[in-house]
Chains A and B, each alone.
Chain A
Amino acid sequence: MPKQLSVSTLQPMVKMLSDEQVRAIHYATLEILSQTGVEMQDPQGRELLLEAGARESNARIKIPENLVTDAIANTPSRIPMHDRLGNLTMPLELGKVFCGSGSDTTFTLDVETGERRLATAQDVENIARLCDALDNIDFVMSMGNPSDVPPDDLYIHEFISMIRGSIKPNIYTAKNRADMEDIYRIAAAVAGSEQALREKPFFLLYAEPISPLLFPEESLQKLIFCAEKGVPAAYPPSPNTGGGGPITLAGALALGNAECLVGLIITQLIRPGTPFLYGMNTAAMDMKSAIVSYGSPEWPLGMMAQMDLARYYNLPAWSAGGASDSKVVDTQAGIEMTFSIITNFLARATLIHDVGYIEYGSTSSMEALVIADEIIREARFLSGGLDINPTTLALDAIARIRPGGGFLADDHTLDNFRTSQWIPRMIDRSRYDSWHAAGSKDMYTRANERAREILAEHQVTPLSEAAEAAIAEILAERVA
């Protein structure tokens, strides 16, 4: 028999919207932008849009379709995110999936005492260090608002703690343009120069408008700063259903899309080719507690739909998952983290943030991060599909074995067990007696022990002297 073509592997993927549905949302977005308009409070942003062909009526800026189309065409289809040592570790491209923590929680679960308490700068650094050690966490966010630093310097300290704690790419937040300037100076010192920073970015801004339709000056100025410097930014609005967005997810998606595209247009008007990460947060506002749910099925439903929009625009996208509304790391947390991670993987969400959040994003948990690391590994295994080839079909082994005798000691098993089976690390599959002898530990206890073990052992390449000098200088200037 001549050599035959191999059987290619289907890697299962979920499309949430039909092409027709995608176009319907896109048209609704164009209607919102051109007819309803947005409230642009930043004068520079307003001027940019008007000069480019937007018009103003009834204090709203109304944006025509050609601005949208041109800006999307100018936006890069990939953002090559590097670690802070200059290695390409996170090329944000459609088809790839990367996971990382979330930003700015008020509280953290103390890994030593289990107590829910205000987060500190040291917590941000410790959680970054934990993320640095976890194989399936690709980027770092702050996971805490430090309560022990001057409130005006909060975001500067978050950034410093993140880069001290991890070499992985980070996604940072800032208060205003002054914050942006200081963070940029530190980042340039870490990269070695402004040019190195542009070529090998290791930081990405997370800023957002206020849904619905409001673009505050401070928020716009952060985005404009990134465009001026040519460094990456995301501007995902949060039209949470029933709160910042209509109660129906379709309307929230159309609105969020419009708001996000305004940010995209601004960056491309300032500097065509500015790396801009498309996306939005369309979580459900709970109709009893008014919390924004990080565990509801509408959350991944919206993100999966959003990925179809991203593919329509040929842009990688921001997404979220691996989080929970539960107040503790319990069964609910496990269900909600798994649900959003697996669905994000099946939709090929490019960048999944908020991993390790509990309490609807108000508290960060190291245990949740350790558990999510395992869930991500499992989701990645499943998304890889099932290889069908002569080795995996195992016909020789099937012909060889004695009926009833089993394959456990067959050479085929010995040769292939490591690649054919997913091997658990945090999940426990030991027999009852061994589990009992090892202390009858549940998942939370094991994750807590693992987190503490990592914190005790894991070393991170320190920042250069130049970077530490820039940090000292900026903090001194801020005191003065």
Chain B
Amino acid sequence: MPNILKKMQTDLYDGDMDAVEAATRKAIDEGMSPKEILDDGLIMGMEAVGRDFKAGDLFIPEVLLCARAMHAGMEVLRPLLEESGVPPRGKLVIGTVAGDLHDIGKNLVSMMFQGAGFEVIDLGVDVSPEKFIEAVRAENADLLGMSALLTTTMPSMKATIDALIKAGLRDKVKVLIGGAPVTAKYAQDIGADSFASDAGAAVEAAQDLIV
């Protein structure tokens, strides 16, 4: 592997945003293909981060720094990837469901997805089923992520899935749900595709869903 990609992985692991961005530009200047930079530089670097986070060796703020650095590299690469016809990793529409104003957990999941190379459309909090449907259709999303912190707002997840079916979009998108009161059983009951108990697990579940 070229040294510049090895260094990119290390800089990414260290969460050095400027270094990753600079390395991405340099790799492009040296004539490397955007796909090679993405797969062997950024994604491989992020896989090491994910592995060590799962093993308990890294802390969330450190992973977020890495995700930020990954995102900076991706911003440079994205136009070139599109030009060369490399399919994107996946597009996620995400939000906290109607009636629920809790932002922090959902933001964490958003950042983790960005760090894993996904394109993320974050609709914010208190998102109605209609707004979710509209965004899924407009963005041609691969994944829909819904978050709820309150037991009382969970039913809005089912309402959104029902609305997806009604709009004829249910087959086009995989639905991923999470949040403190959400369980795998609940996901099954309301017809979601997957449930994740934390942000790292959400990204893993998404990768399994869209392979």
Q: Is B87 an interface residue, CB under 8 A from the partner?
A: no
Extra contacts besides A409-B61, A431-B197, A432-B197 (8): CB < 8 Å: A408-B60, A408-B104, A409-B68, A414-B61, A417-B59, A418-B59, A431-B198, A434-B197
A394 CB to closest chain B CB, in angstroms? 14
* Beta-carbon contact of B103 and A405 below 8 Å: yes
Q: Is A413 an interface residue, CB under 8 A from the partner?
A: yes
Q: Is A430 an interface residue, CB under 8 A from the partner?
A: yes
Interface residues in chain B, defined as those with a beta carbon under 8 Å from any beta carbon in chain A: 56, 59-62, 64-65, 68, 101-104, 107-108, 111, 125, 197-198, 201
* Beta-carbon contact of A409 and B107 below 8 Å: yes
Interface residues of A in 408-426 (CB under 8 A from B): 408-409, 413-414, 417-418, 423
B104 CB to closest chain A CB, in angstroms? 4
A455 CB to closest chain B CB, in angstroms? 22
Specify which of A402, A404, A405 lies most central, judged by the most chain B CB atoms within 10 Å of its CB: A404
Contact of A404 among B56, B59, B64, B125 (CB under 8 A): B125
Q: Is A406 an interface residue, CB under 8 A from the partner?
A: yes
Q: Is A433 an interface residue, CB under 8 A from the partner?
A: yes
B108 CB to closest chain A CB, in angstroms? 6
Q: Lowest 3 CB-CB distances: which A-B pairs, in order? A: A406-B104, A433-B197, A414-B61
CA distance A406 to B125 in the complex (A): 13
Q: Which residue of A lies closest to B199 (CB)?
A: A408
CA distance A44 to B103 in the complex (A): 78
A181 CB to closest chain B CB, in angstroms? 51
* Beta-carbon contact of B108 and A408 below 8 Å: yes
Contact of B107 among A405, A423, A430, A434 (CB under 8 A): A405
CA distance A414 to B69 in the complex (A): 13
Question: With a CB–CB cut-off of 8 A, which chain B residues contact A434?
Answer: 197-198
Question: With a CB–CB cut-off of 8 A, which chain B residues contact A423?
Answer: 59
0/1 interface trace, chain A 430-441, chain B, CB 8 Å (1 if under): 111110000000
Contact of A414 among B64, B101, B198 (CB under 8 A): B64
CA distance A414 to B65 in the complex (A): 8
Q: Is the interface of B mostly helix, strand, loop or mixed?
A: helix
CA distance A405 to B105 in the complex (A): 9
Question: With a CB–CB cut-off of 8 A, which chain B residues contact A409?
Answer: 61, 64, 68, 107-108, 111
Question: With a CB–CB cut-off of 8 A, which chain A residues contact B198?
Answer: 431, 433-434
Question: With a CB–CB cut-off of 8 A, which chain B residues contact A408?
Answer: 60-61, 64, 104, 107-108
Question: With a CB–CB cut-off of 8 A, which chain B residues contact A402?
Answer: 103
B41 CB to closest chain A CB, in angstroms? 23
* Beta-carbon contact of B61 and A417 below 8 Å: yes
A414 CB to closest chain B CB, in angstroms? 5
* Beta-carbon contact of A433 and B108 below 8 Å: no
CA distance A66 to B56 in the complex (A): 61
A356 CB to closest chain B CB, in angstroms? 25
Known: A414-B65, A431-B197, A432-B197. A406 touches B103 (CB 8 A): yes
A419 CB to closest chain B CB, in angstroms? 12
* Beta-carbon contact of B61 and A413 below 8 Å: yes
Q: Which residue of B lies closest to A407 (CB)?
A: B104
Question: With a CB–CB cut-off of 8 A, which chain B residues contact A404?
Answer: 101-103, 125
Interface residues of A in 392-410 (CB under 8 A from B): 402, 404-406, 408-409
Question: With a CB–CB cut-off of 8 A, which chain A residues contact B56?
Answer: 430
CA distance A423 to B57 in the complex (A): 12
CA distance A434 to B198 in the complex (A): 10
Question: With a CB–CB cut-off of 8 A, which chain A residues contact B103?
Answer: 402, 404-406
Q: Which residue of A lies closest to B68 (CB)?
A: A409
Question: With a CB–CB cut-off of 8 A, which chain B residues contact A430?
Answer: 56
Interface residues of A in 144-203 (CB under 8 A from B): none
CA distance A432 to B198 in the complex (A): 10
CA distance A433 to B125 in the complex (A): 26
